[in-house]
Structure 1
Amino acid sequence: MLRLVLRTVVVGYLVLLVAWPVSLVVTHTFDGGFSALSKAFADPEVTHALQLTAIVALSSVAINLVFGVTISILLVRYEFPGKRLLSALLDVPLSVSPVVVGLALLLVYNPRSGWLGPALADAGVQIIFSTPGMVLATTFVALPLVIREVVPVLEEIGDDQEWAARSLGASSFQTLRRITLPGVKWALVYGVVLALARSLGEYGAVKVVSGNVVGSTQTATLLVDQRYQNFDQPTAYALSFLLAVASVVCIVIVSVLRPKQEA
């Protein structure tokens, strides 16, 4: 009886918190059939926002993948002063509001009054109110996701096989490619999926650093807010549906492929 009650509470909680609100977005998207999606895809502002979102999200995921693996190996395989502080700092993006992150980046990279912005502007490099700033903000908020998936797996598998490979003459790169990365492949996959989903849905930090210029620095999430505020609800629902589908598809693909790879 207790198990049944707990199961009912958990299912009800998930339905009220996740399934019901998402289902309402889907329902409103298809109120008039496929007209909302057709209208959205025919809108150049929507297509530009989707393309920019994909560029920013994929760039952020690629950066976090490279540095996530590097930082994970550093934290697990090496001892150095400040290790605990570094590990604690990695959780800052999860605890700080994205708006604060965007404001901090603005203070550093503002081309007029930032610490580094004027020097970069003189060199012809613009960070704020352009794609690089949006990638930087998105990378920051999704930074811990790959690391927190990889670190426990690295700790679990240990370093015996890596030392054995090195004793047989393998270089550091060969050991990484043939021993370390295959051992954490599924942790990497899940970390990348989480980072991608987080990057696709980022709003606060991107809004601060992008300037939200229509047709230039406006991502899909920013366009959803603008269209909804401007009473263009069908387009807002359609874009929200597309963003949700992209994230769900990534998770479903991973869930389907994992048993086949491990079998």
Structure 2
Amino acid sequence: MVKYLLRFIVIGYLFLLVAWPVSLVVTHTFDGGFGAITGLLEDTDVVAALKLTVLCAVIAVVINTVFGVGMSLLLVRYQFPGKRALSALVDLPLSVSPVVVGLSLVLVYGGRNGWLGPTLESWGFQVIFATPGIIMATAFVALPLVIREVVPVLEEIGIEQEQAAMSLGASPAQTFWRVTLPAIKWAVVYGVVLSMARSLGEFGAVKVVSGNLLGQTRTATLVVEEKYLNFDQQGAYAMAFLLAMVSVACIVIVAIIRPKEHAR
């Protein structure tokens, strides 16, 4: 009875917190058929926001993937002073409010009072209220996701195979590409998917650094806010549905193609 009671509590919790709210977004999106979706896709400003969101998310995910794999190898394969502090610092984006992240980026890269902003703008490179600022904010909030997927796998596989490859004459690069990367590829893939989902849905940090300029720095999440505040709830539901479905589709596809022996 205890086992079934716990299952009921967990299922009920997930239903009330996740399934029910998301299902309401779906049902409200299609209250009038597909008109809300087609209307969004015919709006040039909305299409521009979607393109900007995808562009920034892809670039942020690429940055976090390269950095995440490198940082994972550093944390698992090497011993150095300050290792625990660095590991804790990696989790900082999960504990700090995204709004604080956005404000911090403004203080450093802002054009007027930022530490580096005036210098960069004098060189013709604008960060805040431009695409680079959105990419930086997005990359920051999704920073730990690849690392926290890869680190446990690296710890599990150990270093025996890598040592064997290097003893046979393989260079560090060959060892990484032929031994290490194949062993962690599914952890990397799942970390990339989580990073993509997180990047597509980022709102707080992006709102601070983007300036929300129509057709230039307005992202899809900002479109949701703008339409909801302007009483276009159908449009807000439709945009939220598109963002949610892209993230869910990525996770479902990975779950389907991932071999069972690699499932956790």
Shorter-chain TM-score tier: over 0.9
Per the alignment, residue 27 of structure 1 pairs with 27
Does 2:202 match 1:202?
A: yes
Matched to 2:229, the amino acid is: Q
Residues of 1 paired with 2:101 and 2:255: CA distance? 32
Per the alignment, residue 150 of structure 2 pairs with 150
Moved over 3 A (4+): 260-263
Residues of 2 paired with 1:25 and 1:10: CA distance? 22
Matched to 2:134, the amino acid is: M
Per the alignment, residue 250 of structure 1 pairs with 250
1:1-263 mapped onto 2 (5 Å cutoff): 1-259=1-259
The alignment of Structure 1 onto Structure 2 pairs a total of residues equal to: 263
The TM-score, its normalising length taken from structure 2, stands at 0.98
Provide the alpha-carbon RMSD of the alignment: 1.2
| Aligned residues with identical type, % of pairs | 67
Matched to 1:169, the amino acid is: G
- Partner of 1:125: helix, strand, or coil? coil
Matched to 1:148, the amino acid is: R
* Contact 2:212/2:218, CA 8 A, preserved across alignment: yes
* Contact 2:186/2:262, CA 8 A, preserved across alignment: no
| CA displacement 1:192-243 (0-9 Å, x = unmatched) | 1111110000000000000011111000001100110001111111100000
Deviation for aligned residue 1:68: 0.2
Matched to 2:121, the amino acid is: A
Q: Which segment drifts farther, 240-249 or 253-262?
A: 253-262
The TM-score, its normalising length taken from structure 1, stands at 0.98
Residues of 1 paired with 2:3 and 2:74: CA distance? 42
- Partner of 1:184: helix, strand, or coil? helix
Deviation for aligned residue 1:91: 0.8
Deviation for aligned residue 1:134: 0.3
Residues of 1 paired with 2:19 and 2:261: CA distance? 29
- Partner of 2:142: helix, strand, or coil? helix
| CA displacement 1:11-69 (0-9 Å, x = unmatched) | 11111000000000000000000000011110111101110010011110000000000
Residues of 2 paired with 1:16 and 1:203: CA distance? 23
Matched to 2:196, the amino acid is: L
Structure 2 stretches lacking a partner, 5+ long: none
| CA displacement 1:75-134 (0-9 Å, x = unmatched) | 111111111110010011000000000000000000111111111111111111111110
